[in-house]
């Protein structure tokens, strides 16, 4: 071996050892990296967590950590091994939490919050990772048992009260039984005055509230992991996510432009108003062609996934479906923009659906906008008083006393 080749081999060996050491000390929970800045683990310990579930293994090639790094947000189908042993969801969550605690670096601020019969922080509250705290944490995790309901809202409220914590992990197998979770979290985030808390969510089992867990993660710059696979992530989709290759540039059809309202006639007619109205309907999505501007990518409809990619300025998004989807339209782009005095929706596409097929949808959008932009009827003024009502009332005339009235007789005497 030449001296040059030997030097390269040594460098490669050092890099490999360094990578393995880094990987061994990587902070992660369910394959999701734990960022610096403190972490709170919120664990569902409701009665349903005692149910047993078979161990699952991935049927595809993308592992949870690989899916996270690629940012695809793609849900891979999973298969259950016929001879796989069954463990309780509680035991599975306990193992993952112990693994995450062991991965925390010394000095990391952390706490554990459980929600079942009640939502409560573990004894002693938040502390920094070290030999003493990891020992106590292991004892506490081993003692956890499943009972009660799912007071997720109360647990989140506790999580936001913990000092020096930037990230919350929420693990649950069911639907919250108390409180409006999304509204509560929005209020808690606003109260932090710009110092936002990242919320990652993990769903276990078949009864998990996928819609809530996904939205909770997206609204709070986090990741939703379902059955050990990244199902929904705020992280950017990358050009190699396998979606763009289905629709090369030459396949993109000529844009179809629809005028939806006039800013000259209606000052309130703005691209933002049109976009918000459009996104209020699940079937009316907008889109982007600039992949580097993407802010999130989600894929929830296994086994026929549909991916929605939203532009970071909030006025564009892309709705993708993969070949094989039962109602596969391909790639549909809906962009809201200002053109002179008009606000228009530009639709482009690639696949089975033509952009002109959105004309009927645009008519519905225009109708919805007209209701918002229509002038509100002025409140009717109270009826004026009639002139006769405005005149002062005449004094009442007292009747004369009757003949037999004792007062009249007295005067005569």
Q: What pLDDT score does 294 carry?
A: 40
Q: What pLDDT score does 133 carry?
A: 94
141, two tokens: 């995790």
In a domain, 239, yes or no: no
Q: Kindly report the CATH number assigned to the domain that includes residue 62.
A: 3.40.50.410
What is the tally of structural domains in the chain? 2
Which of 170, 202, 233 corresponds to the end of one domain?
233
Q: Which residues of the chain have pLDDT under 70?
A: 1-25, 54-85, 194, 227-250, 281-314, 317, 320-329, 352-353, 376-413
Both 200 and 260 in a single domain?
A: no
Which of 355, 373, 391 corresponds to the end of one domain?
373
Q: Kindly report the CATH number assigned to the domain that includes residue 337.
A: 3.30.530
Asked if residue 68 lies in contact with residue 167, where contact means CB atoms within 8 angstroms, the answer is no
Both 212 and 352 in a single domain?
A: no
Both 135 and 162 in a single domain?
A: yes
Asked if residue 38 lies in contact with residue 165, where contact means CB atoms within 8 angstroms, the answer is yes
Both 267 and 136 in a single domain?
A: no
In a domain, 368, yes or no: yes
In a domain, 378, yes or no: no
Which of 196, 211, 233 corresponds to the end of one domain?
233
What whole-number distance in Å separates Cα of residue 217 and Cα of residue 213?
6
pLDDT tens profile 310-334: 665 667 767 766 555 555 667 778 8
Residue located via tokens 């109360």: 154
Q: What pLDDT score does 238 carry?
A: 47
Both 198 and 267 in a single domain?
A: no
Burial letters for 319-350: b for 16+ Cβ neighbours within 10 Å, e otherwise?
bbbbeebeeebbbbbbbbeeeeebbbbbbbbb
Residue 231 CB partners (closer than 8 Å, separation 6+): 73, 75, 203, 210, 214, 224, 225, 298, 299, 300
Both 119 and 154 in a single domain?
A: yes
Both 258 and 157 in a single domain?
A: no
Collapsed DSSP state (helix, strand, coil) of residue 89: helix
Q: What pLDDT score does 397 carry?
A: 61
User: What is the maximum alpha-carbon separation in the chain?
Assistant: 155
In a domain, 176, yes or no: yes
Q: Is 384 exposed, middle or buried (0-12, 13-18, 19+ CB in 10 A)?
A: exposed
Both 62 and 174 in a single domain?
A: yes
Q: What phi, psi does 113 have (nearest 5°)?
A: -125, 125
Triad 41, 43, 45: Cα angle to 5°: 160
Q: What pLDDT score does 307 carry?
A: 60
Q: Is the pTM of this model over 0.75?
A: no
Both 164 and 295 in a single domain?
A: no
Burial letters for 237-275: b for 16+ Cβ neighbours within 10 Å, e otherwise?
bbeebebbeebeeeebbeebbbebbeeeebeebebebbb
Both 209 and 86 in a single domain?
A: yes
Q: Is 88 exposed, middle or buried (0-12, 13-18, 19+ CB in 10 A)?
A: middle
What whole-number distance in Å separates Cα of residue 154 and Cα of residue 180?
10
Both 165 and 279 in a single domain?
A: no
In a domain, 384, yes or no: no
- The residue segments making up the domain with residue 146 are 24-233
Comparing CA positions, the residue from 326, 308, 327, 328 lying closest to residue 318 is 308
**Hey, how many other C-beta atoms are within 10 angstroms of the C-beta on 192?**
10
Comparing CA positions, the residue from 108, 174, 160 lying closest to residue 137 is 108
Both 252 and 274 in a single domain?
A: yes
The DSSP bridge partners found for residue 198 are 167
């Amino acid at each position: 071996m030449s001296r040059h080749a030997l030097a390269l081999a040594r460098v490669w060996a050092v890099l490999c050892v360094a990578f393995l050491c880094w990987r061994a000390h990587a902070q992660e929970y369910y394959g999701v990296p734990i960022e610096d800045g403190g972490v709170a683990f919120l664990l569902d310990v409701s009665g349903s967590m005692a149910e047993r579930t078979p161990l699952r293994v991935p049927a595809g090639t993308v592992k949870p950590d690989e899916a996270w790094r690629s940012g695809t947000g793609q849900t891979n189908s999973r298969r259950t091994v016929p001879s796989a042993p069954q463990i309780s969801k509680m035991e599975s969550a306990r193992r993952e939490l112990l693994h995450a605690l062991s991965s925390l670096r010394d000095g990391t601020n952390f706490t554990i919050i459980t929600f079942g019969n009640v939502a409560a922080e573990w004894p002693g509250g938040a502390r920094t990772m070290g030999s003493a705290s990891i020992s106590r944490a292991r004892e506490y995790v081993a003692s956890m048992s499943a009972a009660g309901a799912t007071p997720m809202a109360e647990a989140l409220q506790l999580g936001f009260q913990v000092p020096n914590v930037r990230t919350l992990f929420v693990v649950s197998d069911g639907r919250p039984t108390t409180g409006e979770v999304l509204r509560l979290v929005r209020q808690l985030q606003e109260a932090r005055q710009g110092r936002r808390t990242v919320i990652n969510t993990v769903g276990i089992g078949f009864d998990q509230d996928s819609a809530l867990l996904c939205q909770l993660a997206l609204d709070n710059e986090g990741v939703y992991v379902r059955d050990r696979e990244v199902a929904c992530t705020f992280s950017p989709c990358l050009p190699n996510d396998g979606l763009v290759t289905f629709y090369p540039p030459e396949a993109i059809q000529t844009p179809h432009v629809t005028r939806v309202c006039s800013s000259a006639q209606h000052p309130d007619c703005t691209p933002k108003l049109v976009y918000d109205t459009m996104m209020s309907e699940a079937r009316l999505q907008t889109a982007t062609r600039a992949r580097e501007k993407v802010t999130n990518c989600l894929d929830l409809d296994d086994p026929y996934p549909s991916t929605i990619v939203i532009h970071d300025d909030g006025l564009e998004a892309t709705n993708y479906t993969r070949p094989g989807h039962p109602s596969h339209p391909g790639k549909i782009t809906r962009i809201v923009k200002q053109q002179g005095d008009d606000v228009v929706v530009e639709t482009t596409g690639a696949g089975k659906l033509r952009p002109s097929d959105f004309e009927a949808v645009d008519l519905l959008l225009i109708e919805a906008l007209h209701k918002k932009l229509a002038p509100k009827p002025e409140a009717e003024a109270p009826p004026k008083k009639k002139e006769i009502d405005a005149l002062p009332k005449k004094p009442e005339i007292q009747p004369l006393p009757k003949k037999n009235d004792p007062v009249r007789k007295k005067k005569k005497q």
